[in-house]
Amino acid sequence: MSMTLSEKIIARAADKGRVQPGEIVTCRVDLAMMHDSSGPRRVKPMLEQLGAKVWDPGRVVIITDHYVNESDPESLAIEDVTRKWARAHHISQFHEAQGICHIVLPECGYLRPGMFVVGGDSHSTTAGAFGCFMVGIGATEMAGVLVSGEIWVRVPSTIQVRGLGRLPDGVAAKDIMLMLCRLIGISGANYKVVEYTGTTVESLSMDERMVLTNMSAELGAKTGIIAPDEITLAATRSALSAATPWRGDDGANYERVIDFNANELAPQVAAPHSPENSAPVDAHADVKVDQAYIGACTGAKLADLKMAARILHGRKIARDAPLFIAPASLRIAEQAKQDGTLAALEAAGAKILPTGCGACIGLGPGSLGEGKVGIASTARNFKGRMGAPTSRTYLASPYTVAASAVTGRITDPREFV
């Protein structure tokens, strides 16, 4: 009768005492999140055809982040549709241009351990850092959720990733994920849950835990999840009862267990055009970069900006390798301003951009031009993802991105720490 953490959350949402991998159940949705790209402009015509209304406006959150900094007619029209649809359907939980949805959602206190949540974006898996089961769904599925408040789920099996030890100085959660992308592959965890555990994970801050669950999408996972502990409870202002501890049972069945030694992990870099093309940073030491970028839901939280500021302190960006930084939310930008992080970044020559998805999806000044080579703290480096189809993007931690911006070539950040 033992269940994993994800199975417990699905069982609660399906009003069942127990579920097992492969079983198909119907789950009540605690919260549905959409952004401007995947949201109203996609579901509006479907709901109109059905003549349907939103089942519970209080359980829907809309966050604009994809087109907020664009001034072309199409982007302006998308934002207008989003705004009007939220108003027409009485969605009071509407956050316009406040930051990237996966960051704003927990910032605004919407997530609690044990919740079953859906989001209109593949990186909705980020919420698993808060002990939630959150999956990314398409517009047709979202329309069904908006009308019924329910969604069917084939219960996924779980892969447990167990980290032992502490990360060395200059090594971050992003390095763990790039290593796992190589080890598991970008489809190696297809329709499975990846649960992160062990002393390594326990030692990570919430910002760093979010990197693990966020990039579970790059493993092909249904979602990623971390059992809540005191760090989680402090971040969500929650409490766990004896009846709902929200962690897997002893003896729960895991499809696979992957152990890694954090003490021995080196900074990782993924070469174009896949996150699974990762290797220790030294393998790319001769690669010259035209541009560096710290941004996106994966790599522009406050902890990420602080990593970069630590590397850049007392140093200058290379003249031929500009560094663009787009904080993941307005709140993060303000915190970084208040504690001096932004000032340190600007003093080194970094260019601070508005918050939003931006160059991660090939929009705005941080995007890559024809034939350009970039290094970024984002999650994906597929061909054309960050700009021109002929551009090439390397993925790395904020430590490595900042160090590479100083030298103009891919550089081991441990040289600077």
Q: What is the pLDDT of residues 283-332, one digit of tens each?
A: 999 899 999 999 999 999 999 999 999 999 999 999 888 999 999 999 99
CA–CA separation, 162 and 259 (whole Å): 5
CA–CA separation, 71 and 252 (whole Å): 52
Q: pLDDT exceeding 70 applies to what percent of the chain?
A: 99
pLDDT band at residue 243 using 50, 70 and 90 as cut-offs? low
Tokens found for residue 147: 């009308």
Q: What is the pLDDT of residue 353?
A: 96
pLDDT in tens, 192-231: 999 999 999 999 999 999 999 999 999 999 999 999 999 9
358: left (phi over 0), alpha (psi -120 to 50) or beta: left
Q: What is the pLDDT of residue 237?
A: 84
Q: What is the pLDDT of residue 242?
A: 66
| Amino acid (one-letter) located at 20 | Q
Do 236 and 110 contact (CB within 8 A), yes or no?
A: no
Tokens found for residue 116: 């079953």
Element housing 184 (H / E): helix 173-184
pLDDT band at residue 364 using 50, 70 and 90 as cut-offs? confident
Q: What is the pLDDT of residue 245?
A: 78
Asked if domains 5-237+252-261 and 268-415 share a fold, the reply is yes
Choose among 85, 80, 90, 82: nearest CA to 55.
90
Q: What is the pLDDT of residue 244?
A: 72
**Domain 5-237+252-261 -> CATH class:** alpha beta
Q: What is the pLDDT of residue 239?
A: 75
Choose among 302, 303, 295: nearest CA to 387.
295
Do 96 and 83 contact (CB within 8 A), yes or no?
A: yes
**Domain 268-415 -> CATH class:** alpha beta
CA distances from 368 to 95, 246, 393, 402 (A): 29, 43, 8, 17
Beta bridge partners, 323, equal 292
Domain boundaries along the sequence of the chain: 5-237+252-261, 268-415
Mean of the pLDDT values across residues 361-384?
Answer: 93
pLDDT in tens, 104-126: 999 999 999 999 999 999 999 99
Q: What are phi and psi of 185, to 5 degrees?
A: 95, 155
